[in-house]
């Protein structure tokens, strides 16, 4: 079983999409191993959006992402399942909402383009963060959850669909 981090960003919380997004993950059989709502400061946000992001996309982009994620409450969760990282990434859709396919979370619930965000000098409000790789997931999970906040349980519905 893999675990992956998902953050429902302030725009998802503000728009009342938390339950709907969580339901989509549960409907495919992903198990919630950890879940909490919190408001983070810029210092904590900087632990998530690391200097590596600045090296890849520029310090300006990192600063915008830190500003965006700390602008309101978020919901952090750890999902678990067979190849969970890949499944979640597929369900979330591409980072740019405008380019996300219909049927994905970003494709169904957001539409902002990188061009628009750049013109407004703001981060891209794309509802969700999802770990980008199997290697990245445990590092990100540790930023948001202490080990005792994660739960290992075997939901009854998995008896016939997933061998845990």
Question: What distance in Å separates the CA atoms of residue 117 and residue 126, rounded to the nearest whole number?
Answer: 11
Q: Read off φ and ψ for residue 25, nearest 5 degrees.
A: -70, -40
Question: What distance in Å separates the CA atoms of residue 127 and residue 125, rounded to the nearest whole number?
Answer: 6
Read off the pTM: 0.91
pLDDT per residue as tens, the chain (164 positions): 899 999 999 999 999 999 999 999 999 999 999 999 999 999 999 999 888 876 777 788 889 989 999 999 999 999 999 999 999 999 999 999 999 999 999 999 999 998 998 899 888 899 999 999 999 999 999 999 999 999 987 766 555 565 55
Q: Which of these is catalytic: 111, 116, 129, 160?
A: 129
Q: Is 60 a catalytic residue?
A: no
Task: Name the residue ranges covered by the structural domains of the chain.
Answer: 2-145
User: Cβ–Cβ contacts within 10 Å for residue 119, how many?
Assistant: 9
Q: What pLDDT shows up at residue 154?
A: 74
Q: What pLDDT shows up at residue 21?
A: 98
Quickly name the fold that domain 2-145 has.
Alpha-Beta Plaits (3.30.70)
SS3 readout for 72-139: CCEEEEEEEECCHHHHHHHHHCCCCHHHCCCCCHHHHHCCCCHHHHHHCCCCCCCCEEECCCCCHHHH
């Amino acid at each position: 079983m893999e675990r992956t981090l998902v953050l429902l960003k302030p725009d998802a919380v503000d728009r009342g999409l938390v339950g709907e997004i969580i339901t989509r993950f549960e409907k495919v059989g992903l198990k919630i191993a950890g879940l909490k709502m919190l408001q983070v400061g810029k210092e904590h946000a900087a632990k998530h959006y690391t200097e590596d992001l600045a090296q890849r996309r520029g310090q300006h982009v990192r600063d915008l992402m830190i500003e965006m994620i700390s602008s309101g409450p978020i919901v952090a969760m750890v999902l678990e399942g067979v190849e969970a990282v890949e499944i979640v990434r597929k369900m979330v859709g591409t980072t740019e909402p405008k380019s996300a396919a219909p049927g994905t979370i970003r494709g169904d619930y957001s539409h902002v383009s990188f061009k628009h965000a750049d013109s407004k000098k703001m981060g891209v409000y794309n509802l969700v963060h999802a770990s980008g790789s199997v290697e990245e997931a445990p590092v990100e999970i540790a930023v948001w959850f202490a080990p005792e906040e994660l739960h290992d349980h075997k939901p009854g519905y998995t008896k016939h669909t997933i061998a845990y």
